[in-house]
């Protein structure tokens, strides 16, 4: 779901970079030193998960895991995702430097939304409700990211309308898979390391 260099218009790039810079600055002010190892681990998980690309037409699909990253990190998801995307852009030419702001915002804002929507329920006492919310969290995070990528393409110009639709359609299976993975991860953490979830 990375947007490559040379596709987006200058206003979209500048807006994405500005919003991401503001969000990362706010995140770093809120983040405590003791959170750094957890942020680093989840940043590396995001880095590895989204390296495996399956080409679909002019786009490709891959795991994102921004839902679970959002639930576990809150606002710290912004710097975690920024670092992972920057390394992917520099080392593997996934996305790019000029699109780093837009790509980060497209992945991290849904993570923050999921944090506010699902954090309390996922950490609640009722295991069944927690796992149901975990699925919706994983599904919704990818849906929101796909919608934001599509919007960035549409705001760039009419020629990208079909690609924007393709991005959403091809990520439907990923949404379901992400939901299932989020259920597995949350279920595992609730049993083995509930302190990570602050339960």
Confirm if 114 and 44 have CB atoms less than 8 A apart: no
Phi, psi of 140 (to 5 degrees): -65, -35
Domain ranges in the chain? 10-197
Fold of 10-197: Arp2/3 complex 21 kDa subunit ARPC3 (1.10.1760)
Summarised one tens digit per residue, pLDDT across range 103-139 is 999 999 999 999 999 999 998 889 999 999 999 999 9
Confidence (pTM): 0.88
pLDDT score of 167 more than 80: no
Rounded Cα–Cα distance for residues 27 and 75 (Å): 5
% of the chain exceeding 90 in pLDDT? 58
């Amino acid at each position: 779901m990375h947007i490559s260099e040379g596709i987006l218009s200058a206003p979209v790039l500048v807006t994405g970079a500005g919003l991401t810079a503001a969000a990362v600055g706010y995140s770093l002010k809120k983040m405590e030193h003791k959170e750094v190892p957890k942020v680093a681990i989840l940043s590396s998980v995001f880095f590895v998960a989204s390296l495996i690309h399956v080409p679909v037409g002019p786009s490709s699909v891959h795991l994102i895991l921004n839902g679970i990253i959002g639930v576990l990190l809150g606002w710290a998801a912004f710097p975690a995702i920024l670092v992972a995307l920057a390394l992917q852009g520099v080392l593997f030419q996934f996305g790019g430097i000029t699109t780093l702001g837009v790509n980060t915002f497209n992945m991290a804002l849904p993570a923050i939304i999921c944090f506010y929507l699902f954090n309390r329920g996922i950490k609640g006492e009722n295991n069944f409700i927690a796992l149901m919310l975990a699925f919706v969290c994983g599904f919704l995070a990818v849906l929101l990211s796909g919608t934001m990528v599509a919007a960035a393409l549409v705001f760039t110009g009419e020629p990208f309308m079909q690609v924007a639709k393709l991005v959403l359609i091809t990520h439907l299976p990923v949404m379901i898979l992400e939901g299932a993975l989020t259920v597995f991860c949350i279920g595992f953490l609730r049993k083995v390391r509930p302190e990570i979830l602050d339960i």
